Amino acid sequence: MKKGSKTRITVIGAGSWGTTIALLLNENGHDVHLWEFFPEFAERLKRDRENKRFLPGIRIPRSIKITSDIDEALDGTKHMVFVSPSHTMRNVARIVRNSPNFSEDALIVNAAKGLEENTFCRMSEVLNQELPQSMKKIVSILGPSHAEEVSRKMPTSVTVAGKNINLLKHVQRLFMNEYFRVYTNTDLIGVELGVSLKNTIAIAAGICDGLGFGDNTKAALITRGLAEMKRLTKKMGGREQTLSGLAGIGDLIATCMSKHSRNRYVGEEIGKGRKLKDILAEMVMVAEGVRTTKAAVKLGRSKGVELPIAEQVYRVLFYGKSPTKAIRDLMIRKAKKEM
């Protein structure tokens, strides 16, 4: 980074990905403040200098300021990175907005994936509704980026998406380094839908793992899952081409195949015969695909978009349908052309 380019950045959310983003931005030479909602957890982070709950073994430098006081976190900053789960994003945005230190000129960077369950809103839409910023001041940085790997400086590539190309290039410069490559994309709808919808397909991939199926099954699932994602994205105004990039097939492959994937894990445990409520009760981190599946299926129905895989995942998760029967029902659907 060039001398004199140090930027004051506040990361909102100290889970595994929020902590990782704080580490990345700190390494890039920025003045980073990390806000954690729960005071007791913030105190542990400050004391231990390690996120033992979400990111054990990774040291947090003392140059990263950690606090649960939103006024302190926002004091003097005009760059905010939101890393909250989709179901808490709206409430967190309201907390930020109500701080006297919140700047209406601030650049807002969303780094969270998912759709709001009842409104079907993407995260940039939630932030736009709750903050005074126009959509031109809101961008999303998303892609195949497991915190467990980025925090250990494993080469990773993501996309920053938004309406203002100058802001996209600015965020690209803030985040990019020798192990974290950032591309720009003006298709915000496509990028946000891609990284959200793939979580449902990852649950389906996990179900296949739990049932003991092989590579043929998962290859077909990923390919046809991508077709569903493209159909809904196009209907919502995004570009199908975006789903062939990092936010689509890239994130889909990583989430369906990875041992780090929480959504794939949920599916695998269901495929083994466990109940959803029992799986979620023992998980420390959030599996966004569970809520996103509800939103995606309802959105698809409202728009008249066929989502056969998502529909079957929905029935397995929330209506107790047998995973084996769900797979069979997908296989015996009416014969169709591929393209």
Residues with catalytic roles: 198
- DSSP-derived pairing of the beta strands 50-51 and 55-59: antiparallel
- DSSP-derived pairing of the beta strands 156-161 and 138-142: antiparallel
CA gap 164, 162 in Å, rounded = 6
Instruction: Give the HSE-up count for residue 184: Cα atoms under 13 Å, Cβ half-sphere.
Output: 14
Which among 314, 308, 313 is positioned nearest to 334, based on CA atoms? 308
Residue partners of 12: CB distance under 8 A and separation at least 6: 18, 35, 73, 80, 81, 82, 83, 84, 92, 96
Which among 193, 198, 292 is positioned nearest to 249, based on CA atoms? 198
Going through the chain in order, the beta strands assigned E by DSSP cover: 8-12, 31-35, 50-51, 55-59, 65-67, 79-82, 107-110, 138-142, 156-161, 180-185
Class of residue 252 by CB neighbours under 10 A (exposed 0-12, middle 13-18, buried 19+):
buried
Note whether 246 and 330 are within 8 A (CB): no
CA gap 265, 24 in Å, rounded = 27
Structure token pair of residue 259? 């041992």
According to DSSP, the residues that pair with 257 across neighbouring strands are none
- DSSP-derived pairing of the beta strands 65-67 and 8-12: unpaired
What sign for the dihedral angle of Cα 28, 29, 30, 34? positive
